[in-house]
Structure 1
Amino acid sequence: MNTDPITFALIESALKGIVDEMNVTLFRSAYSPVITEGRDIGGAVFNRRGELLAQGSSDLAVFVGMLEYFTRAVTTEFGDTLQPGDVFINNDPFAAGTHFNDVGVLKPVFFGGELAGFVAIVGHWPDVGGAEPGSFASDARDYHKEGLRIPPARLYRGNELNKGLYDVIFANVRIPEEREGDVRAQVGAVNVGERRLKELFDRYGTGIVFEVMDEMIAHSEKLMRAAIRTVPAGSYEWTDTIDNGHRVHLRLTVAEESLSLDFHGSDPQSDTSANSTASATASAVYVTLKSLFPEIPMNHGCFIPIELIMPEGTVVNARPPAAISMMAATVYERVIGVVLGALSQAIPDRIAACPYGLINLTIGGTDPRNGREYVAYLFSEGGFGASSWEDGSSGLVSLYGGGARITPVEVFERRYPMRFLEWTFRQDSEGAGRFRGGFGARKTFTITRGSARVTALGDRESHPPFGVQGGESAAPQGLHLVRSNGDEENLTLKAVGRVVGEGERVIILGSGGGGYGDPLDRDPELVLADVRDELLSVDRARKVYGVVVALEGGQYALDRGATERLRAERREDRP
């Protein structure tokens, strides 16, 4: 490192602070609750080569690394024509994205007449057109059903709005006045980022700032290579399956200080919307590795030692016209699963079991109170996988949703004709083990006025989150509808545009996380504590953990003798 440590730390912190200020700008000025409350956003600052330097402390983890594909696409297509005041927009997963609802805005930053860097921010729009409110469609056979596809394009040229493009976008989305508010907030955020980055150049000079930018990348690369050296060299394979039967296969090869992730053996791209693109698959890999090495500053240097082999035309690198709206709940999560599974063979004491599966719902209709169209976006929480040292956490957003927040019930009930009747932990949903997985969530809501169309984005109904090292899988997920006459229907997590009438109830059943180790080795006192907290039923405590509890004086108590005898019998009966 040539720069003195204090200057390095000041500039590095300033770059991270720029992204955090961009994010706050978006939180406070956007229209959509999924952005302002749920914080489904991600910002970044890049060097003049378009390489990632920093992301925000509150960013959604799914955008880790993905935004670098955005700068790459813009510099490839427009590199020689970039000018001050340009702003680009993109939601194209095949170029640089996740799904169409995640809309990115990027601005090149010029200083002293030269390109000096980029700033970008992405936010989830509740609707981008398509056949159903919310734009998700598990039954889509190609992406045209899923909404408007916007390849990287100039939204502003030299500070002048491209009104033709602007009008086309907002003529093709639901509730355009809200989406206009979101994109204007995003443009405002990158303008803030541009201003702050220029102030940094003005204070320290481009020479020192550029030098620190390069040193940041070199430092993270060095740390990532050192972390990889702690993983035993070798090749490790794992396969995980989507509920539609499509498989994601990984061969992970660990060299002395590099990783190769080869997805050959994954199934061809699906004729459903359970597909991922290269940028989303790369993001899933980076998110998983980042969770294992959290101390390493996230920037381009983390990616250098990692080789990704993603065969085109497979579920991990689908090509047009493949549908992709189920990506997050299917292939993306399976990529996380196979990386964790492969590494569990190499470093079992450091790898957690599989976390719960994402469940997102879009609820759309016309509000009879004011005659206005609405689209509500609801994501559910669940349990994380257990590890060799502790139980999995309960009631969290997904592994790649780190940074997101649970939107308060009151926001939904104030803005939309719906009421929540239940929002609680789901009993017996954990994956059993010496350390158990976290518990899933159970939510119930009703439509209070009129009717609504509900579309689900979810999976792991038939392939629940797996356990490791003898731990068991968690409970499957589900989505149910209770009709006004009391009949209950299994909607499934592939429901598309299902009509829910006034007073009818929708029940969301989220899974827990997988378990770690033999359930019969779990401390009986911990099992008793879960029973007392009503997280675990007495029956499951006995059947799965071999722990006998009974009511004594109005409180559950442990029968140690019966527990020891039952566990001994269970072990003796094993093959």
Structure 2
Amino acid sequence: MATQELDPITLQVISGALDTIAEEMGHILYRMSFSSIIRESQDLGAGLFDTDFNTLCESESTPLHIGSLPGYLRGIQDSLQGGTWNEGDVVIHNHPYYGASHSPDIAIVIPCFHGGELVGFAANTAHHLDIGAATPGLIIDIPDVYAEGMLFAGIKFYEKGVRNEALWKFLGNNSRASQQLKSDIEAQIASARLGVRRFHELIERYGKDTILSATQQLMDYTERILRQKIEKIPDGEYRAEGFLDDDGKNRGIRLPVKVCVRIRGDAIEIDLTGSSAQVETGFNVPFEGSTKVACFCAIRSLLLDAETSEIQVPSNEGSFRPIQVTAPKGSI
């Protein structure tokens, strides 16, 4: 597709429309949900994504849900049931070693087609109270990820519009809070379906090429603004160190977390080398769904704070591009 340069007014209108879609997706999700952690705490994230899994827009929700969904999408791509997307598919995914943050954060992803062509995805994540783990709620002193509850990796909850009734029954039979779990998942599906519908309406109004060009320009704009902010920081290495009290099992053994932030011109590297080795309990943090996202969130909060910034910067993939995260395998 040849990228067309859009005029500033059209670009701003489309940017506002994308932001509104993400916010509406988030509102639908928390207003329909049964559990308080979603309905009241808004422990969720929602947005639209292109076919390369770039974030086009995202809801203003819990920070660690913001930015995690591209990792989910990449994990789904590696594990997708049947290997192909079809109209009417709804995918459920929460596997921490396929891009998810942690297993209670379940994602619902729906592909968006226009004229038979895949043009993007509407997706959301939400924290669920009980997914059949060894004990209710969050659990730390466990031997492996399987004790955290049900794991889904690229599973089609709906295939070509037809619900997997066996999976629906399985969900209800493997949670201590089955009504809340199933109702919250239905809210997630409604939210993602709304996102697909709104994305389709936007393309119908402006044309596919215009929308895809706009999203590229908006991502480039956000990246450019963040790089300008980074350039104002003197080049160098900035180090800090903290500790976790213990791993929840071996009491009194502190776990170091070390970070070196390297500024090189208009780019940042966050290097966690030297942090504790991985532990035998649930303190280990998945790289794609949590470690990278926490780093992205910290930089964005410091340099692109909406309350203090003199300009409004769209929340999209451009805010991730200048940031590189290094975390050695085998570390916490």
> Shared fold by TM > 0.5?
yes
2:125 aligns to what?
Answer: 122
Deviation by residue 1:274-311 (Cα, 9 ceiling, x = unmatched):
11111201111011111112244321111111111111
What is the CA–CA distance in structure 1 between the aligned matches of 2:300 and 2:220, rounded to whole Å?
Answer: 17
Q: 2:266 aligned with 1:264, yes or no?
A: no
Q: Per-residue displacement from partner, 1:242-264 (whole Å, max 9, x unpaired)?
A: 00111111122110011111211
Once residues 175 and 186 of structure 2 are traced to their aligned partners in structure 1, the CA distance between those partners, rounded to angstroms, is 15
Answer whether contact 1:170 1:176 (CA < 8 A) is retained.
yes
Q: Select the residue among 134, 157, 160 that pairs with 1:158.
A: 160
> Which residue number corresponds to residue 95 of structure 2?
92
What is the Cα deviation at residue 94 of structure 1?
1.8
Name the structure 2 match of 1:248: 257
Once the two structures are superposed, the pairs formed by residues 205-216 of structure 1 within 5 Å of their partners are 205-216=207-218
1:64 Cα offset (Å): 1.8
Residue 291 of structure 2 corresponds to residue 281 of structure 1: yes
- The corresponding residue for 1:23 is 26
State the distance in 1 between where 2:49 and 2:114 align: 14
| Unmatched 5+ stretches in structure 1 | 316-575
Quick check: 1:64–1:286 contact (8 Å CA) kept in 2? Answer: no
2:139 aligned partner: 137
C-alpha contact 2:76 2:93 (8 A) present in aligned 1: no
8 Å CA contact 1:92, 1:149 repeated in 2:
yes
Instruction: Give 3-state SS (helix, strand or coil) of 2:262's partner.
Output: strand
Distance 1:74 1:97 in 2: 9
Give 1:201's match in structure 2, choosing from 203, 209, 221.
203
CA contact (8 A) 1:93 1:280 kept: no
Equivalent position of 1:313 in the other structure: 330
Alpha carbons 1:91, 1:150 under 8 Å: kept: yes
After superposition, residues 452-467 of structure 1 pair within 5 angstroms as none
Q: Post-superposition shift, 1:107?
A: 0.8
* Counterparts of 1:204 and 1:63, CA distance in 2: 30
Code of the aligned partner of 2:70? E
Q: Distance in 2 between matches of 1:230 and 1:117?
A: 35
Paired amino acid for 1:286: F
Distance 2:74 2:140 in 1: 30
Shift of residue 170 of structure 1? Answer: 2.5
Describe the SS at the equivalent of 1:273.
Answer: coil
Structure 2 length-normalised TM: 0.90
> What is the match of residue 57 of structure 2?
54
Aligned residues: 313
* Superposed counterparts of 1:315-354, under 5 Å: 315=332
- Aligned-residue sequence identity (percent) comes to 30
**Greater fraction helix:** 2
Q: Distance in 2 between matches of 1:24 and 1:212?
A: 25
- 1:393-542 equivalences under 5 Å are none
Asked if 1:301 corresponds to 2:310, the answer is no
Question: Residues of 1 paired with 2:72 and 2:284: CA distance?
Answer: 19
Letter in 1 for 2:295: V
Once residues 22 and 229 of structure 1 are traced to their aligned partners in structure 2, the CA distance between those partners, rounded to angstroms, is 35
Aligned equivalents of 1:282, 1:192: Cα separation in 2: 28
User: Per the alignment, do residues 42 and 248 of structure 1 end up closer, same or farther by CA in structure 2, a change over 3 Å counting?
Assistant: same
Does structure 1 conserve the Cα–Cα contact (< 8 Å) formed by 2:79 and 2:153?
Answer: no
Q: How far apart are residue 80 of structure 1 and its match?
A: 5.5
Q: CA RMSD in A?
A: 1.5
Check conservation: 1:109, 1:119, Cα contact below 8 A.
Answer: yes
Task: Give the partner amino acid of 1:127.
Answer: D
Residue in structure 2 matched with residue 419 of structure 1 by the alignment: none
Letter in 1 for 2:125: V
How far apart, CA to CA, are the structure 1 residues paired with 2:75 and 2:57?
19
Instruction: Give the distance between the partners of 2:159 and 2:317, measured in 1 at CA.
Output: 28
Q: Deviations over 1:524-559 (max 9, x none)?
A: xxxxxxxxxxxxxxxxxxxxxxxxxxxxxxxxxxxx
Q: 2:278 aligns to what SS in structure 1? A: coil
Which residue identity is paired with 1:304? R
Residue 482 of structure 1: aligned partner: none
Letter in 2 for 1:215: Q
Structure 2 alignment gaps of length 5 or more: 247-253
Compute the displacement of 1:23 (Å).
1.3
The residue type paired with residue 59 of structure 2 is G
Q: Kindly name which structure, 1 or 2, has the bigger radius of gyration based on alpha carbons.
A: 1
Query: 1:107, 1:242 → 2: CA distance?
Result: 38
1:8–1:96 distance in 2 versus 1, CA, 3 Å: same
